[in-house]
Amino acid sequence: MADVFTDLQTETEALAELAERHGYGPGPDLAGYFARLTSTARLVRLSVEHPAAFGVTPQISYDTLDEAIVSWLIEQRKATALLTSAPPEPELPWSDGPLRPSVLAAAVLTELFACGQDIADAVGIRLRRDDAIGHVAYYGIRTRDRVYHRHQETPPGQFRFELRAPSGELWAFGPQDARDRITGPAEDFCLLVTGRRFAEDLSLVFTGGHTAEWLELLER
């Protein structure tokens, strides 16, 4: 798995290329996806440059896909550069609570993953993922407890995650002796935690009662 900032830069360009290749002509309007991503990029810039003023940014809309892609690329490239050069401390404000720049980059990569899947589904293509999704998997694991907090539930002990990367490497997180375990393809886990697929359509295995409870809360 490459450096998170390098992967953020690479995945940004790849998403723009995906939209340029499949977004023109008859078919769904993809501009709205990039309006959402532009808002996220502007929030990142605000978090780094003016943390005391961090908050909601104005709603964005675009008339054309060209305008949407170019505007987003400008904002996202600036946001990536700021995150890359930001010191590890202090943590930066974010909607999920203060995050280190590297973790915030993983959060943005998670947004890119979800948006890329939305576009792929809209135009009817199958994406070929690489090990950059490891940052998305990490962020999904790191924010596991958010599901419980959203439903006013107390999180249980740690899970063990054993996820198979696109390259075939095994990524393991959590105590090796944990009774509650989630195993399977890393891409499937990323699709699950971003809400792009239901568990019944994926090849993940959930062991232990707490993982079943977590899944029920996640998909509720």
Q: What is the mean pLDDT of residues 57-76?
A: 94
Q: What is the mean pLDDT of residues 50-60?
A: 88
pLDDT band at 24 (very low <50, low <70, confident <90, very high): confident
Pairing mode of beta strands 170-173, 205-207 = unpaired
pLDDT band at 25 (very low <50, low <70, confident <90, very high): confident
Residue 93: the pLDDT is: 96
Contact indicator for 128, 31 with CB cutoff of 8 Å = no
Q: What is the pLDDT of residues 93-125, one digit of tens each?
A: 999 899 999 999 999 999 999 999 999 999 999
pLDDT band at 56 (very low <50, low <70, confident <90, very high): confident
Q: Which residues pair with 173 in a beta bridge?
A: 161
- Helices 4-22 and 133-142: crossing angle, nearest 10°? 110
Q: Is the pLDDT assigned to residue 1 strictly greater than 70?
A: no
Q: Is the pLDDT assigned to residue 162 strictly greater than 70?
A: yes
Tokens of 192: 């699950």
Query: Can the peptide bond before residue 90 be classed as cis, meaning omega within 30 degrees of 0?
Result: yes
Tokens of 162: 């054993």
pTM of this prediction exceeds 0.75: yes
Q: What is the pLDDT of residues 119-157, one digit of tens each?
A: 999 999 999 999 999 999 999 999 999 999 999 999 999
Residue 55: the pLDDT is: 86
* Chain mean pLDDT for the chain: 95
In the chain, the N- to C-terminal Cα span, in Å, equals: 32
Q: Is the pLDDT assigned to residue 2 strictly greater than 80?
A: no
Residue 127, number of CB atoms within 10 A of its CB: 14
Q: Which fold has domain 133-219?
A: Nonspecific Lipid-transfer Protein; Chain A (3.30.1050)
φ, ψ of residue 206 to 5 degrees: the values are -110, 120
Residue 178: the pLDDT is: 97
Percent of the chain residues past pLDDT 90, beyond the cut: 92
Q: How many Å is the maximal CA-CA distance in the chain? A: 54
